[in-house]
Structure formats: structure tokens, C-alpha cells
Amino acid sequence: MRSDRIKKGLERMPNRALLYATGLHASHMDRPFIGIASAFTDVVPGHTQMRTLERYIERGIENAGGTPFIFGVPAVCDGIAMGHSGMGFSLPSRELIADVVETVVSANAFDGIVLLTNCDKITPGMIMGALRVNAPAVVVTAGPMMAGHHAKRRLNLITDTFEAVGKFKKGDITEEERQSLEVEACPTCGSCQGMYTANTMACLAEAMGLSLPYCATTMAVLTAKQRLAYESGQRVVDLVRKDIKPRDIVTMQALENAVRADMALGGSSNTVLHLMAIAHEAGVPLTLKDFDRLSHSTPHLCSMNPAGKWYMEDLHHAGGIPAVLRLLGKMIHDLPGVSGRTTHQIMSAVRYYDPEVIKTVDAPEHAEGGIAVLHGNLAPEGAIVKQSAVEPAMMVFSGTAKVFNSEENAMTAILGGKIVKGDVVVIRYEGPAGGPGMREMLSPTAAIVGLGLHKHVALITDGRFSGGTRGPCIGHISPEAAAGGLIAYLKDGDAIEINIPAKTIQAVLTDEEIARRQATEPLLPPKETKGYLARYARQVTSASTGAVFK
């Protein structure tokens, strides 16, 4: 076992003395040492219940003959960080989390690891760290939040808080209604209710075979989640004994299963960044071309909030991820996973699914998957749009640019009534290096929806979007402004053409005009010159390659 290096032999007497100082019994020394990477914190709603789940994971590990050790991992709530400078730390926290997992598992020679995670960047960061050390691992996502309720209407974070800002500004809701929504939209612990980034990544971890069946959709407040945590503790000990490692599971075929599940669910556009980063750590050559190929051949089956009406609780009761995979059928590879059953064995065990929530491939929500990859002179390396969240009338759009060098400036213009029908809002210098940190543009996109402009206005950015974003919002434009991409040289009034079915995004400028601007107009200086974000900006690669470190 890996842990033998810290507990076997005469020369490890000092090591054992320190281990006994933690309260270990002599019998623990002959067992596999299992780390529990816990992202518990009081400030992230999706993580506040993790203390209970830690206990159940511990029980499972002990029951199966392992020795558990809990250690902490940082967590950022994107909703709380949204709309201010703190959001710049969200995507960079993914790399920190990967480093923490790698560091603690390696330094303590753990034989296996349980990754207790839930929100946004934490899940991919933990998986990346586990792949680096390649110690047997099970992912436990802490579960989705229940819907809120107000006047017989179900509530969710995006529609009823972020988009409500624009509705209140427009006068569509009263102050009394606004206050009620603020208090009732998020009624329990858990990751926010729709198919946003946190829940999408939980679903994809399960689709890859890194979590137990139904883990992704089992609600945070259910005792079934505690039983899944217990079983996950048991399973990791078995994986250690059988020497089944993450890189045995996260193969190209497993990542293709994840991408197909993503497309069927209409998941967050952030998954493109995260799956490519996971593939990078696994040594698998997943690229934007694969997303484009798989999206084109995978139907969109689930009309999930925010673009659709179904919530995570609906998806769970409709059959969860096993049912989604079953309906995708032969598109899904039969692969091993942490449960001890193959993908097809899990799929074949599904006895019920709700055809209202999960459509069939013969009668899908849309013929193509939820995410499209666009190219053109504005994005020669690619750009991403969540096409399942775009109104049919806005799939092809031409407009004139209104250019902003930060999210804050754009938000001021949107709420100040400066954006009108026919505009293309351009938010630049928000990419991985230029932000730095590639902030999510949920506040401006939600404000546009709340003001009723999402059927008349598009938004493009070298930043990214929340899984809760809807409307014609094109992100991840690569190269970004800070790298000299064409987005850096756009001016107010430039014509921009977006054609999602044709997968194109173009600025209507001649090559001569583009060359003139590039020769005469300097790029903005770096926004950060010290601290973690300055180091991040120097090391991070393009969004088109997953925004991983060089």
C-alpha cells in the first residue's frame, strides 16, 4: 500500500509515533489509509451539510476496514462571489483545489481518497487532483437544493433573484414581492436547483463512473444522501484493494459519455472548460472539436431550469442520470466505474423513467445537444454558447456592438437603460488572463433577461457564463482580448453577426481595417500585478484548451 511508506519498518518509528498522537489504535496501522477531502464551509449553501456526510463516509470506510482521515479543501460560492472582484478568484480556485488534493494525498501517502464536493469549481478541481496522484477515488457530491415556493409557484436562484433584479428595475414586481423572493428562493442547503454548473458537474462525474448511481440528483436534505456517502466510504476501500485508479476510469470513452450526458441535459457551458481540464490531467486529448462532434450527434433530452421548467428534484424522480444514459442507449460506452458495475449494467437496472422530464432520442427537446462551438474571425480558436437556452428567433442575430472593458461597466449601462434592441453587448478583458480569472457574466445576462431584452439583444465575452445563463450569450471567445484577439479591437457601432445553427460568429470588418487597428491600438495593461491572480494570469492557458496552467 502507498501508506506503507509512512508506517512500515523500523525507520518509520517517528512517523508512527505522530500517527498515534492523532488517536489511532494499533489496529488502524494495518488498514488502508483513506483521505476524505472535504470542502465543508459555513458560507457555501451547497456545503453546509457536509459535516454530517463526513461522518457517514467515515463510518463506511471503517466498516470496510479502512482508516479515515478528513482534511479541508477551499470552497467558493459563485453566487456570492458574483458581480464583484471576488468572482475573479472562482475559476482560479479550481487550480488551488487540485494542488491541495495532490499535496495532502502525496504528503500523507493516502491509499485512497473520497472527494466530498458540490459546487462549481470544487468538483472538477478535486477530480483533477485525484487524477494527478492517481490514487483510488470516489466522488460524493453533496446534493442539489430543493425548490423554493411563493404563492404556489416554485422558485429558483436564477429566475427569482438574479433575473428579478431586472424585473424590479423595470417595475414588473413590487418591493414586497422582491423581499419575498430574496428570502424564499433558496430554502435549504444544497447546490442551486437547476442545471447550473455545480449540478451539471455532479451529473457528469456520475456519468463518467466516478460517483455511485443517483448520487448527482439525490437531494441534499434526503437521508438517502447519507446512505450514498456511507456506501462511497465502503467502495473506496474496495477500490484500493483491487487497485482501481481514477485513470483506469477517466478514459476518452468515459469523457465521451460525460459529454453526451452534458448535451442531453443541456448543461452549463462551463463544463467545456472543466472536462478539458480533467482530460488534461488524465492525459486524454479531449478538444473543442470533440464537443462539436458529440453535440451534433447527441439530442437534447431534458428541458432543465433555467431555460426549461424542470428542476433537479424532477430529474431525480424521473430516473436520474441512469435513466438519461439508458435513453441515450448505444451512444453510451459500456465502461467500469467506482460502483463495481459497468455503465450498461447501471442503465439496464433502470425500471422507470418519466417521459415528460426525459424525452426519447426519437422525440427530443432539440435534435442537437445543449452546447454549440462557434468559430469565425472573432473566435478563430472557438467560442461557446448554451444553444438549448436560446430563443429560436435569436439563433441567428445581427447587431451593433456596445463595448465594455469590464463586467461592472456593462452592468451599469444595462441597468441605466443604455442597452436597446439590436445591440450586441461586448464585455472584454474578462478572459482567463485578462480578467484575470474569467469571471462569470451572470449578473448582466440575468439583468438583460429581467428587462425583457433577451429576445432582442445578444452578449459576447471572453469571460464565461453561469450555468444559469440563458439567451444568446456567447462566451469563451478565444483568443481573448488580453492575448490580442479581435475582441480587443472592436468599437461601438461595429456590426456583429451570430449564426448558431451555422456555428459562426463574425465581426463585419475588412482584413485591412483589422490590421490597421491591431497596428495602432495598444492592449490594456494587466489588471493585477501582485498576488495569486497575477501569478494565475501569467500561467493560465486559453479557454479553448480548458484554461489550465502551462
Q: Which pLDDT value is given to residue 379?
A: 98
Q: Residues 231, 172: one domain?
A: no
Q: Which pLDDT value is given to residue 314?
A: 97
Has residue 521 been placed in a domain?
yes
Q: Which pLDDT value is given to residue 158?
A: 85
Q: Residues 425, 530: one domain?
A: yes
Q: Residues 480, 387: one domain?
A: yes
Has residue 410 been placed in a domain?
yes
Backbone angles phi, psi at 113, to 5 degrees: -150, 140
At residue 449 the predicted structure's pLDDT band, cuts being 50, 70 and 90, is confident
Q: Residues 141, 265: one domain?
A: yes
Cα–Cα distance for residue pair 165/252, rounded to 1 Å = 42
Q: Which pLDDT value is given to residue 396?
A: 96
Q: Which pLDDT value is given to residue 283?
A: 97
Q: Which pLDDT value is given to residue 442?
A: 84
123: CB partners within 8 A, 6+ apart: 115, 117, 139, 141, 198, 201, 202, 205, 274
Q: Which pLDDT value is given to residue 432?
A: 97
- The strand pairing partners of 360, in sequence order, are 363
Has residue 8 been placed in a domain?
no
Q: Which pLDDT value is given to residue 193?
A: 94
79: CB partners within 8 A, 6+ apart: 157, 192
Q: Residues 101, 160: one domain?
A: no
pLDDT at 467 over 90: no
| Residue span of the structural domain in which 47 resides | 31-146+188-348
The domain total for the chain is 3
| 211 belongs to the catalytic site | no
Instruction: Please write the tens of the pLDDT for every residue from 266-284.
Output: 999 999 999 999 999 999 9
Has residue 1 been placed in a domain?
no
Per DSSP, 175 falls in state H
At residue 159 the predicted structure's pLDDT band, cuts being 50, 70 and 90, is confident
Has residue 353 been placed in a domain?
no
Domain boundary among 168, 184, 200: 184
Instruction: Please write the tens of the pLDDT for every residue from 127-146.
Output: 999 999 999 999 999 999 99
Q: Residues 455, 385: one domain?
A: yes
Q: What percent of the chain has pLDDT over 90?
A: 90
Q: Which pLDDT value is given to residue 84?
A: 87
pLDDT at 200 over 80: yes
Q: Residues 413, 538: one domain?
A: yes
Q: Give the residue-averaged pLDDT of 30-53.
A: 97
Q: Which pLDDT value is given to residue 261?
A: 98
CATH code, domain with 213? 3.40.50.2300
Straight-line distance from the first to the last Cα atom of the chain, in angstroms, rounded to the nearest whole number: 32
Q: Residues 163, 211: one domain?
A: no
Q: Residues 102, 63: one domain?
A: yes
Q: Residues 338, 320: one domain?
A: yes
Instruction: Please write the tens of the pLDDT for every residue from 380-428.
Output: 999 999 998 898 999 999 999 999 999 999 999 999 999 999 999 999 9
What is the DSSP annotation of 199-212?
Answer: HHHHHHHHHHTSS-
Q: Which pLDDT value is given to residue 6?
A: 95
Farthest-apart Cα atoms in the chain, separation: 76
Q: Which of 93, 295, 406, 466 is catalytic?
A: 466
At residue 98 the predicted structure's pLDDT band, cuts being 50, 70 and 90, is very high
Domain boundary among 348, 382, 402: 348
pLDDT at 378 over 80: yes
Q: What percent of the chain has pLDDT over 70?
A: 100
pTM as predicted: 0.95
Q: Which pLDDT value is given to residue 162?
A: 86
What is the DSSP annotation of 393-461?
Answer: GGSEEEEEEEEESSHHHHHHHHHTT---TTEEEEE-S-STTTTTS--B-HHHHHHHHHTT-TTT-EEEE
Cα–Cα distance for residue pair 210/278, rounded to 1 Å = 12
At residue 446 the predicted structure's pLDDT band, cuts being 50, 70 and 90, is confident
Burial class (CB in 10 A: 0-12, 13-18, 19+), 155: buried
Q: Residues 104, 58: one domain?
A: yes
Has residue 4 been placed in a domain?
no
Q: Which pLDDT value is given to residue 166?
A: 87
The CB-based long-range contact list for 63-66 (8 Å cut-off, 24+ gap) reads 63/230, 63/233, 63/234, 64/233, 64/234, 64/235, 64/236, 64/237, 64/238, 65/31, 65/32, 65/237, 66/31, 66/32, 66/33, 66/34, 66/111, 66/112, 66/233, 66/236, 66/237, 66/240
Mean pLDDT of all residues belonging to the chain? 95
CATH code, domain with 521? 3.50.30.80
Domain boundary among 313, 348, 383: 348
pLDDT at 501 over 90: yes
211: CB partners within 8 A, 6+ apart: 138, 139, 140, 141, 202, 205, 232, 338
Has residue 360 been placed in a domain?
no
Q: Residues 524, 403: one domain?
A: yes
At residue 550 the predicted structure's pLDDT band, cuts being 50, 70 and 90, is confident
Has residue 363 been placed in a domain?
no
